[in-house]
């Protein structure tokens, strides 16, 4: 419970625009995430990025990666994250967004949350996860991996990943796809060769222009073809 901050960007002159929730990286709702919201708004979407770290302080002011992991990311329970995204969706609906055409996308830490939300909300139309972890050790706050929950996917998910991402082995993506496919779920992966983690982050050295542009276009197509 409580109040969390969010950043929103709304398209000009569009009545009841479709809604896309944008889930932040471990760096919280900083300028890059806000810019992604504005890019989506220019495409005609109501974009909203809730700060899922808000209860623990302002993560955008923190530069120490260990603090971001231990004092912010590790403290967020999966249940709380789902509730906060639900709240952002409710806010967007009350603010004029069309949540009957609801999508979600997220990056890095937010990529995992994107997968979880596709397993959580039956009203979701489509999801696009950018390099979000799908496997990993269970913790009290994050008790289940994306793979373990894949049979419960409620919406089609597009996963955009880099083959040179040392933290996310391609074998875990293959395992996820197998579980989802056996359960009759729609999952598609694009794995870019020789491409690192965070390839869409145009403020970091990891930025890979060709993969970033291709992924953005695939994301737009995925949302359109799935009713967002």
Please give the full DSSP string across 13-80, using - where no structure is assigned.
T-SS-EEEEEE--TT-S-HHHHHHHHHHHHTT-EEEEE-TTGGG--GGG---HHHIIIIIGGG--HHH
Q: What is the dihedral of CA 88, 93, 96, 99, to 10 degrees?
A: 110
228 pLDDT exceeds 70? yes
Query: Are the beta carbons of 190 and 158 closer than 8 angstroms?
Result: yes
- Work out the average pLDDT over 218-224: 98
Mean pLDDT of 196-216: 97
What DSSP element (H or E) covers 90? helix 78-94
Q: What pLDDT, on the 0 to 100 scale, is given for residue 32? A: 98
Using the structure block, give the residue that is written with the tokens 């760096």. Answer: 27
The Cα 192–Cα 164 span in angstroms is 8
Is the Cβ–Cβ distance between 118 and 127 less than 8 Å? Answer: yes
What is the model's pLDDT at position 2? 77
Question: 24, 78, 108, 120: which one is catalytic?
Answer: 108
Which residue in 108, 96, 86, 112 sits closest to 21, CA to CA? 86
Radius of gyration of the chain (CA): 16
In the predicted model, what is the mean pLDDT of the chain?
97
Catalytic, out of 32, 71, 86, 197:
197
Where do the H-state alpha helices sit in 120-161? Answer: 146-149
The answer to whether the CB of 177 falls within 8 A of the CB of 153 is no
Three-class DSSP category at 136 = coil
Closest Cα partner for 72 from 52, 90, 89, 91? 52
Is residue 108 part of the annotated active site? The answer reads: yes
Catalytic residue among 58, 165, 202, 221: 165
Q: Read off the pLDDT of residues 69-105 as tens digits, 9 standing for 90 and up.
A: 999 999 999 999 999 999 999 999 999 999 999 999 9
Question: Is 197 noted as a catalytic residue in this protein?
Answer: yes
Q: Which helix (H) or strand (E) holds 129?
A: strand 126-130
- Element containing residue 6 per DSSP (H, E): strand 6-9
pLDDT per residue as tens digits for the range 50-75: 999 999 999 999 999 999 999 999 99
Place of tokens 């990993």: 136
**What pLDDT band is residue 1 in, cutting at 50, 70 and 90?**
low
């Amino acid at each position: 419970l409580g109040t969390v901050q969010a950043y929103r960007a709304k398209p000009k002159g569009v009545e009841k625009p479709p809604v896309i929730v944008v889930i932040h990286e471990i760096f919280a709702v900083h300028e890059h995430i806000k810019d992604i919201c504005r890019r989506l708004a220019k495409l005609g979407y109501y974009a909203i990025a809730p700060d899922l770290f808000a209860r623990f302080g302002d993560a955008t002011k923190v530069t120490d990666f260990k603090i971001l992991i231990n004092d912010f990311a590790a403290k967020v329970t999966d249940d709380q994250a789902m509730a906060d995204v639900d709240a952002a969706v409710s806010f967007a609906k009350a603010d004029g967004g069309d949540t009957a055409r609801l999508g979600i996308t997220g990056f890095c830490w937010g990529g995992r949350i994107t997968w979880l939300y596709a397993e959580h909300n039956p009203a979701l139309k489509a999801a696009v996860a950018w390099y979000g972890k799908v496997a990993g050790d269970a913790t009290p706050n994050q008790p289940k991996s994306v793979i373990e929950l894949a049979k419960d996917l409620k919406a089609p998910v597009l996963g955009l990943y880099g083959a040179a991402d040392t933290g996310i082995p391609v074998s875990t993506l293959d395992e996820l796809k197998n579980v989802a496919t056996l359960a009759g779920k729609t999952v598609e992966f694009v794995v870019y060769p020789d491409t690192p983690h965070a390839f869409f982050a145009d403020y970091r050295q990891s930025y890979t222009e060709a993969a970033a542009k291709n992924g953005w276009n695939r994301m737009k197509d995925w949302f359109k073809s799935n009713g967002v």
